[in-house]
Structure 1
């Protein structure tokens, strides 16, 4: 209970501020309607009218919760209105990009640790690559994919997701593979261990805590990349497409429900990464 109390306090504070902001922002419409009708509205009459508008500027928490519930449980999972359906589409793109990002990050990290020339040449460019706004890069990736004859929207989304997710894996793995000190490396050399054995028995186990810590960041980044990738590709499926639909048609409840659905999906993915970390750490005898 003591651990949950700070979290609950912050949550209650956010909800209170959210409701206050909803009253403030949505009151504009209430006063405007009253002015057009030639009537006046008191504060006590105004507050209830800000809580149940069809197209509020800022939907209050209970409206977002109702829309989220309807999208998750009020539709068949095969329905195009179902957030479960759209979430699964985004999930597939996220996993493709996440896997590609892991492979790219790990391979580059191994090359950087093994070859000094890779450290001097590749690492600076990897850092610079993260300064490019992904919103500007996404349409370019789409155009290049079309020019290469790559059909469909899954590959461009996966590339965008991998672009965001490989960097935390790369940086953490470089740090982890270099974690063993010189005394440990010299000790293995005295036992006649080669580079391969040193990597498998020392560097790789030492990098596991760094690796799994980076995966929690990388999987969230891959989800963000997938959602961003759904916006310029003209996708009609996925949580990103759902957010865009709500924005285009002036339906903020759809946008907010999709936003919270993506947050739930991110939380589930991070939870799975954490459980996987525990299982692998137990088998390898690694303390995380």
Structure 2
């Protein structure tokens, strides 16, 4: 029990602190509407009545935590998974685009990293363009990608996956380049002493040394890929996906719906990062890099 509290105590304390701050912010931001209603009804509100009103408004500026939890419960547990009002259904749509885009981004990032490490020409020419690509706001790029692909008859999952790839490949390129260059000169000279060729050096030295860097990049990449999938759903007027829930909520002022979709996206991202972390521990342990 002591060990559990030692590990989980700081996390639980921060969660409780954030929830308390969230409730305080909800009261502060929603109080104006409660006071306005009371003024129009020629009544006054005590502090307890004011707090109660701010906790139960239909379209609050900032929903209280319990309102978001109730909305998530209603749209997950109380809805069929196949229902278009189910957050699980919308989450699956976004997850599909996320995973496909992440797979594309991972493959592209690793291939570019290998080319950059082994080719000075690519290092001097491609790497600056890779960095420059990330200076363009994704909200400006996403509509152009979708319009161009729709013009050639490509729609549905693939455009969102390409936007996800656009965001996820960059950290993988940077991390993989760093990892492939991690072996020091002494180790490279040792491989030459053993008459190892470029392919052997790659598989036996550079790739194993790059694994910690790769997995760190994959954690960032999967989160970026989820953001890309959600952004890809916004400019299309999509009717499915967490981005569509955010869009519909903003259209109709349904702030509780917006926050429930945001929380679900955050939980989904945390789950994906945790999954990669688990794969990392298993892989590195089998490679003898972890005890």
Residue 269 of structure 1 corresponds to: 272
Candidates 170, 173, 194, aligned match of 2:173: 170
2:108 maps to which of 100, 104, 110: 104
Out of 63, 69, 83, which is 2:67 matched to?
63
Q: Does 1:122 align with 2:109?
A: no
Give how far 1:7 is off: 1.5
Q: Is the 1:175–1:210 contact (alpha carbons within 8 Å) kept by the matching residues of 2? A: yes
* Secondary structure of 1:212 counterpart: helix
Name the residue aligned to 1:156.
Answer: 159
Contact 1:153 1:235 in 2 (8 A): no
Partners in 2 of 1:188 and 1:212 — Cα distance?
25
Structure 2: where are the runs of 5+ without partners? none
Alignment of 1:63-102 (within 5 A): 63-102=67-106
C-alpha distance after superposition, 1:88-134 (max 9, x if no partner): 00000000100000001000000000000100001011111111100
- SS in structure 2 of the partner of residue 3 of structure 1: helix
- Find out whether 1:182 has 2:173 as its counterpart: no
Contact 1:145/1:156, CA 8 A, preserved across alignment: yes
TM-score (norm 1): 0.97
Q: CA deviation at 1:42?
A: 2.1
Among 3, 7, 29, which residue is 1:25 paired with? 29
Supply the distance in 2 between the matched residues of 1:14 and 1:187 (Cα, whole angstroms): 53
* Residue 279, structure 1, aligned to residue 282, structure 2: yes
Q: Distance in 1 between matches of 2:8 and 2:124?
A: 47
- Of 173, 192, 195, the residue aligned with 2:195 is 192
What's the TM-score once normalised by structure 2's chain length? 0.96
Q: Is the 8 A contact 2:165 2:225 kept in 1?
A: yes
Alignment of 1:202 onto 2:205: yes
Q: After superposition, where does 1:137-148 map in structure 2 within 5 Å?
A: 137-148=141-152
State the alpha-carbon separation in 2 of the partners of residues 167 and 119 from structure 1.
14
* Count of residues in correspondence between the two structures: 287
Find the aligned partners of 2:139 and 2:215 in 1 and give their Cα distance.
27
- 1:76 and 1:25 map into 2 onto residues whose CA distance is 34
**1:159-194: per-residue Cα shift (whole Å, max 9, x none)?**
110000000000000000000011111111111110
Structure 1: tracts of 5 or more residues without a match: none
Deviation at 1:287, TM superposition (A): 4.0
- Whether 2:225 is the aligned partner of 1:239: answer no
Specify the alignment match of 2:45 in structure 1: 41
Q: Residue 63 of structure 1 aligns to a residue in which SS?
A: helix
**Of 235, 260, 267, which aligns to 2:263?**
260
Runs of 4 or more off by more than 3 Å in structure 1?
none
Distance 1:272 1:58, change over 3 A: same
1:215 touches 1:273 (CA, 8 Å); kept in 2? yes
Query: For 1:197 and 1:265, how far apart are their aligned partners in 2?
Result: 39
Distance apart, 1:44 and its partner CA: 2.3
Distance 1:287-1:124 versus aligned 2 partners, 3 A rule: farther
